[in-house]
Amino acid sequence: MPYEVPEQKQVRVIINTDAKNEADDQYAIVHAILSQRLQIKGIIGAHFGARSATGMEESYEEVEHVLRLMGMRGQYDVYRGAPHKIRDIHTPVPSEGSQLIIDEAMKDDPRPLFVIFQGPLTDLASAYLQEPRIADRLTAVWIGGGTYPEGHEEFNLSNDVAAVNVVFNSPIPLWQVPKDVYEMVRVGIAELALKVRPHGRIGGYLYDYLVSHNMNNGHRPQWPKGETWVLGDSPAVSLLLEEQRFDYEMVEAPNVDADMRYIAKPGNRQIRVYRSVDARFILEDFYAKLALFALYEKELDSQRCGQQIP
């Protein structure tokens, strides 16, 4: 980037992502990497439930692939999360990912720690059950859950309802971006063709992978509509750049039943629930950073070619 963010304005970030599930996680990962305010301490590959028995490994490999395309493999540590949901609200699934969350939370570092979840909350619930002292040493941002107040089926929630109940009933500060809000980040595929595809190796991959997923989405043939997509994971990044402090409400955390409905729990601790996100800011900030990174790639390639010519 052609600018720097002062150290006192930086925050530590761990990314937890079911990256191979669909095609929007990759956009959020790239956006986070290109955001100078976010000091990424690790990226965790997450499972995505019954959709794939090997989802966590697929997500891990997808993160590695994105980093390779950006020329950044080895610059960020990638970890394996839990391969499946927790059995009940008392039993963690320990993993490299849950241990990373514990280790980073327990560090003596004055910069705030945020852990963003673009899939299930399995690794956060596991980390908390393993080490409850992390609760006041991080803030979690979760893309998931149905619309308030009733709730309803939602994919990230469906992949570990018990983990959500663990986190909702813990003291961990939580920012929730439910389904009706993350779906505000709608984008046309034509727009992505103009503003993403031309910008470097990673831009081409982000566009081509999304289009391929759009053409071959066998498990939900009517979704998406054909010319649009929802970059629903991107608010997990943008809210760390600008938290939109007038666009959320503090809500008493509910319980979640087996049908993914919210069951009111009067007197429970409060969580931050977003009512809207700024899609224009999210998309334009991403486009600008991607274009700047592509320029950097071109300059680097030009320097390498120049060094090879006698």
Instruction: Output the pLDDT for position 216.
Output: 74
CA dist 153 and 151 (Å) reads: 7
Confidence (pTM): 0.94
The residue ranges of every structural domain in the chain are: 7-186+231-289
CA dist 156 and 143 (Å) reads: 8
310 Cα distance to chain centroid = 46
Residue carrying structure tokens 């409905």: 261
CA dist 110 and 7 (Å) reads: 11
Q: Enter the DSSP assignment of 115.
A: E
Instruction: Output the pLDDT for position 75.
Output: 94
> What's the farthest any 2 CA atoms get from each other in the chain?
74
Query: Could you give the angle at the alpha carbon of 157 between the alpha carbons of 236 and 124, nearest 5°?
Result: 65
Taking the CA atoms of residue 26, residue 31, residue 32 and residue 33 in that order, the dihedral angle to the nearest 10 degrees is: 90
Residue carrying structure tokens 């761990």: 14
144: tokens are 């998931």
DSSP three-state, residue 6: coil
First to last CA, the chain: 30
Query: Could you give the angle at the alpha carbon of 95 between the alpha carbons of 92 and 97, nearest 5°?
Result: 110
Q: H-type helices in 216-278, by residue range?
A: 235-241
For residue 112, whether the previous peptide bond is cis, meaning omega lies within 30 degrees of 0, is: no
Instruction: Output the pLDDT for position 196.
Output: 98
Instruction: Output the pLDDT for position 310.
Output: 47
Has domain 7-186+231-289 been given CATH number 3.90.245.10? Answer: yes
Per-residue pLDDT of the chain (310 residues; tens, 9 = 90+): 888 999 999 999 999 999 999 899 999 999 999 999 999 999 999 999 888 999 999 999 999 999 999 999 999 999 999 999 999 999 999 999 999 999 999 999 999 999 999 999 999 999 999 999 999 999 999 999 999 999 999 999 999 999 999 999 999 999 999 999 999 999 999 999 999 999 999 999 999 999 998 887 656 666 667 789 999 999 999 999 999 999 999 999 999 999 999 999 999 999 999 999 999 999 999 999 999 999 988 887 777 776 654 4
Are 281 and 242 in contact by the 8 Å Cβ rule? The answer is: yes
103: tokens are 């280790």
Instruction: Output the pLDDT for position 234.
Output: 98
Are 241 and 34 in contact by the 8 Å Cβ rule? The answer is: no
